[in-house]
Amino acid sequence: MLGRIAEEQERAIGEVAEEAGLARHVSAPSIKGSVEMDWSSEDERRAFLASLLADCAAVSALAKEAECGGEELELIEQVIRQDVEEDPGEGTPKIRRGVAKERMPSVIDPEMRHGHKSSGRGYTGHKAHVAVSETGVIVDVDVTAPSQSEGSKVSEAIDASRAVTGSEIDDVLGDCAYSTRNAQAQAEQSDVTLTTKMPGHRRGFFAPGDFTVNEDGTEATCPAGQASEKCVRRDDGYVHQWSGERCGACALREQCTKAARRTLMVPPDFHERRARER
Ligand code: SF4
């Protein structure tokens, strides 16, 4: 932002920074390297953070006065919002614990986000949506934030692939991420049969398909022939539960659950998923 202001005022960045009392941000290659402090001290770290926030406020005011740096202003405000919070006890700022929703990890690439390949494997970057023809030619590529599901791009990918190849497309293969309801609905809308790999289940344990579930999902019977003892609404589906008492005394428990009691998620497309698994 100091650079933008200097550019706007046709002055040297050092001069602008010096005048605003922000010289430390341009005189040293690294702001962290420019301070002498005890990094193991929570109090010193918080004091340093507070001084950085004061610098941000000063440069923001300067940019507004100079009527420039709109994008940079938004970026710096977003970084502060996502990474800093006020300690409710002491009223001082501190680095936020955990990851804010839609956190922007890089100011160099503001569209980059954190995502997950699986529940245990995270990544930071973008998500590529790639359509490949039967002959192995890439016919469509799109890049989105990791939070955008694969399913949301199915129609667009099919339309683009049809346009690029000039061919009719009736059948599409997708990986596991395309097994969602949204992906299937979009494929149906585009008149395409979408066949995907289905999410795996823990090896050696009963899978959802081993349970008997009625049409509307409100009744479920486990492989031991026991009806669920509790059924609660979750989002637009149901969660069935068997009691710890019943599961504890069950001869099939080893194949069913490691927890004290078994639960079964029944989303609205429970039966469709079983059909697709078959
Ligand atoms: S452990 Fe519980 S849910 Fe699983 S088969 Fe036995 S009684 Fe049924």
Q: How many degrees, rounded to 5, is the angle at CA 257 between CA 253 and CA 260?
A: 90
Mean pLDDT, residues 187-209: 91
Q: How far is CA 129 from the centre of its chain?
A: 15
Give the C-alpha separation, 92 to 94, whole Å.
Answer: 7
Tell me what pLDDT residue 278 has: 87
Mean pLDDT, residues 75-80: 90
* 226-265 pLDDT tens trace: 999 999 999 899 999 999 999 999 999 999 999 999 999 9
Give the C-alpha separation, 2 to 241, whole Å.
Answer: 59
Q: How far is CA 123 from the centre of its chain?
A: 9
Give the C-alpha separation, 114 to 121, whole Å.
Answer: 11
Query: Would the CB of 256 count as within 6 Å of ligand 1?
Result: yes
* 87-145 pLDDT tens trace: 888 788 999 888 888 888 888 888 899 888 777 788 899 999 999 999 999 999 999 98
CA 217 to ligand 1 center in whole angstroms? 18
Domain assignments of the chain as residue spans, ordered by start: 2-95, 127-196, 208-277
Query: Would the CB of 94 count as within 6 Å of ligand 1?
Result: no
pTM of the model: 0.66
Name which residue sits closest to atom 7 of ligand 1, judged by CA: 247
Mean pLDDT, residues 19-34: 89
Token pair recorded at residue 1:
């932002």
Query: Would the CB of 246 count as within 6 Å of ligand 1?
Result: yes
Q: How many degrees, rounded to 5, is the angle at CA 33 between CA 30 and CA 35?
A: 120
Considering the chain, what is the average pLDDT of its residues? 91
